[in-house]
Amino acid sequence: MQFGVLGSGSFATALAKLLVANENTINWFVRSQQMAEHIAKRHHNPNYLSSVYFDTAKLNLSARIEETIARSEFLVLAIPSSYIHDTLSVLPRNIFEGKKIISAVKGIMPEQVLLVNDYLKQEFNFPLENYYCIMGPCHAEEVAAEKLSYLTFSGINEKLTQEITHQFKTEYLNTVINDDVFGVQFAAVLKNIYALAAGIAHGLEYGDNFLSVLIANAADEMAGFLRTVGVRNMEVGIHHEIIPGVQTIIPLKKSANYAASVYLGDLLVTCYSLFSRNRTFGNMIGKGYSVKSAQLELNMVAEGYNASRCIYIINEKEKVEMPIAETVYRILWENLSPKQGFKQIEETLI
């Protein structure tokens, strides 16, 4: 398998580290020639996860995305959703023919209000059967520190999904597979919005008791939305299969449900972890920062900001009761006071 990594942020760097750790030589598209030269000379990314050192003999670095795509069979897409269109729109419509795309984007296309696979279908006629995603509670900083993490790989082709996971699995990275391509992406979009809510609550100086109630209600709200848009795996404590396609029973191995790492697990870590950029962004909003000043201070993309608007637009059609997500949208996009917004949220919690 010849992998290409598109993106040079923290998660892209972490995924490049995993691929190289499994003896892959990778093609890596980075944002500038200066960055490519720095990594080649100094063996690390100068801006993100700079503690991670690479065997540069296993890196084909380039600041030209067409070159990386042409040389790769499997493309790991790890560009923030707000930059994907500008990066890809200049490319020929047939550039992804014969390629497999593995999306690590935990966001939604902000202008198009589309999941990444739907955007690729619309702009490049890219088929869903060649699209895979990497989701789950896996902060790049912990991968860099080689702390045990879990990633879920989703794809329609179970056999190829499993083969892809083998290229990322290490002693400190466990892999899970499922076929819920739409569900894992929507869950990743929603958990960022709820992490913003958790951060705003912390900035407003609510305590741990309130935060636990807020997140529990957010989990219920997220499950209601996922169920409404047709996502499976919403039961907790119920497992329909042992392992898809495997007849022999493997003890303690369960099928995915809502309590699995890629759904509830990712929601929890994004709401609680100090590594969470969405929680950090929300915390600044709760403390009185404007959206613009919080963006400048963070200096990284908080996917939940654009996601809150996109989910609000989608939900105008779906009509799911989502008071927490809707309030986050109104705080960030309609200048609702965080204090007033959370007073309204208080009345909805159970």
pLDDT digits (tens, 9 = 90+) for 299-348: 878 899 999 999 999 999 999 999 999 999 999 999 999 999 999 999 99
pLDDT for 252: 54
Residue 285 and residue 142 share a domain:
no
CATH number for position 39:
3.40.50.720
**Model confidence over 95-130: pLDDT tens digits?**
999 999 999 999 999 999 999 999 999 999 999 999
Looking at the structure, tell me whether residues 138 and 198 fall in a common domain: no
Indicate whether 19 and 95 sit together in one domain: yes
Give residue 184's pLDDT. 95
The answer on pLDDT for 162 being more than 90 is yes
- Domain closes at, from 141, 162, 179: 179
Which two structure tokens, joined as six digits, stand for 316?
């105008």
Rounded Cα gap, residues 170 and 21, in angstroms: 8
The structure's pTM equals: 0.92
pLDDT number for residue 317? 96
Calpha distance 76→6 (Å, rounded): 6
C-alpha angle with apex 146: 233 to 73, nearest 5 degrees? 65
Mean predicted lDDT score pLDDT of the chain: 94
Q: What is the pLDDT of residues 10-69, one digit of tens each?
A: 999 999 999 999 999 999 999 999 999 999 999 999 999 999 999 999 999 999 999 999
Least confident range from 4-18, 191-205, 239-253, 329-343: namely 239-253
Residues 196 and 66 in one domain: no
116 and 203 in a common domain: no
Instruction: Choose the final residue of a domain: 179, 202, 235.
Output: 179
Q: Which domain holds residue 277?
A: 183-346
Domains identified in the chain, total number: 2
Q: Would you say residue 264 has pLDDT above 60? A: yes
Residue at a domain's end among 128, 154, 179: 179
**Would you say residue 248 has pLDDT above 50?**
no
112 and 54 in one domain?
Answer: yes
**Complete edge-to-edge strand list for the sheet that includes strand 149-154:** 59-62, 26-29, 3-6, 74-77, 100-103, 131-135, 149-154, 173-178
φ/ψ of 4, rounded to 5, equals -120, 140
Alpha helices in the chain (DSSP H): 10-21, 33-42, 65-70, 81-88, 116-124, 140-144, 158-166, 181-203, 208-228, 266-272, 277-286, 291-298, 303-318, 323-333, 338-346
